[in-house]
Amino acid sequence: MMDRNEISQTSRSDNLMWGQPITAIQLDSSKIDAWFDEFIDTETLCTEEFEFSKCKTSNGVDKNYTIDYRVPMDIVYDEFSLFINDLGPKMQMSSAFEVPWINVYEKNGFQDAHDHQGTRNADFSWCYIHKAGDSHIVFKNRNATNSDNCLKEYFDAYEAHMDFVPELTGKGTLYIFPSAVLHAVSPNKSDSPRITISGNVRVLPQEGGRPAESPLTAE
Ligand SMILES: [Fe+2]
């Protein structure tokens, strides 16, 4: 007879959502608020739009690469280091942060399901909620079937099998998640805009292992 312990998940994997370390953290927003108010003008910075979405972004805008993002990035870096330590690193790791970008969702603004792996093969991504509006992120299990989704009518364990909205959704929330995880942003029902700061990270062993020929740089 099989020992029950042999087939149990570890406590760590019990905490993962669909096997993915999707994490939400409530931060003190005061430093980022002050930085944003002093240095960011979304009218002139966020001038592009994502396809199949209704959202203004600074992603890909030349001016974005003139922004000094050190204030939010220092805060995110500290949280990211804790996140990485919780994953149980098997060696000393370093992380390469991509230049972040800012999204603005006016009333009814939303974003279609997408992931962040991109051409630079990012490993992890982050999204900080500067202003929440009446809107939230929705993480999506790309492996969920319609049958799985129907089972949520019967079982609590299936409640978040297809869509997962973390409890933390307000101003000051930082999400950290694997870049390959699909996610969307629900339509903003508020007259107040939703504003987010997002970025990608690639992790590398400090010595040997994965090659670093393609460091993340602003383009
Ligand atoms: Fe995203």
Ligand 1 centroid, distance to 1 Cα (angstroms): 46
Ligand 1 centroid, distance to 110 Cα (angstroms): 11
Ligand 1 centroid, distance to 22 Cα (angstroms): 13
Nearest to 24 by CA among 107, 83, 89, 94: 83
Ligand 1 centroid, distance to 114 Cα (angstroms): 6
For residues 203 and 83, the answer to whether their CB atoms sit within 8 Å is no
Q: Indicate the residue type of 75.
A: I
Q: Which helix (H) or strand (E) holds 174?
A: strand 173-178
> What's the farthest any 2 CA atoms get from each other in the chain?
67
Domain locations in the chain as residue ranges? 20-203
Give residue 99's pLDDT: 96
Per-residue pLDDT of the chain (219 residues; tens, 9 = 90+): 445 545 444 444 556 888 899 999 999 999 999 999 999 999 999 999 988 899 999 999 999 999 999 999 999 999 999 999 988 888 999 999 999 999 999 999 999 999 999 888 999 999 999 999 999 999 999 999 999 889 999 999 888 899 999 999 999 999 999 999 999 999 999 999 999 999 999 999 986 555 444 444 443
The phi, psi pair for 173, rounded to 5°, reads -80, 135
Q: Which CATH number fits domain 20-203: 3.30.450.20, 3.20.20.80, 2.60.120.620, 3.40.50.300?
A: 2.60.120.620
Q: How far apart are CA 143 and CA 162, in angstroms?
A: 8
Ligand 1 centroid, distance to 112 Cα (angstroms): 9
Give residue 103's pLDDT: 98
The phi, psi pair for 159, rounded to 5°, reads -55, -45
Q: Indicate the residue type of 28.
A: D
Give residue 210's pLDDT: 52
b (16+ CB within 10 A) / e for 93-128: eebbbbbbbbbbbebebbbeebbbeeebebbbbbbb
Give residue 13's pLDDT: 52
Q: How far apart are CA 169 and CA 179, in angstroms?
A: 19
Q: How far apart are the first and last CA of the chain?
A: 59
Specify burial of residue 71 (Cβ count, 10 A radius: 0-12, 13-18, 19+): middle
Q: How far apart are CA 168 and CA 152, in angstroms?
A: 22
Ligand 1 centroid, distance to 210 Cα (angstroms): 25
Relative to beta strand 56-57, strand 182-185 is unpaired
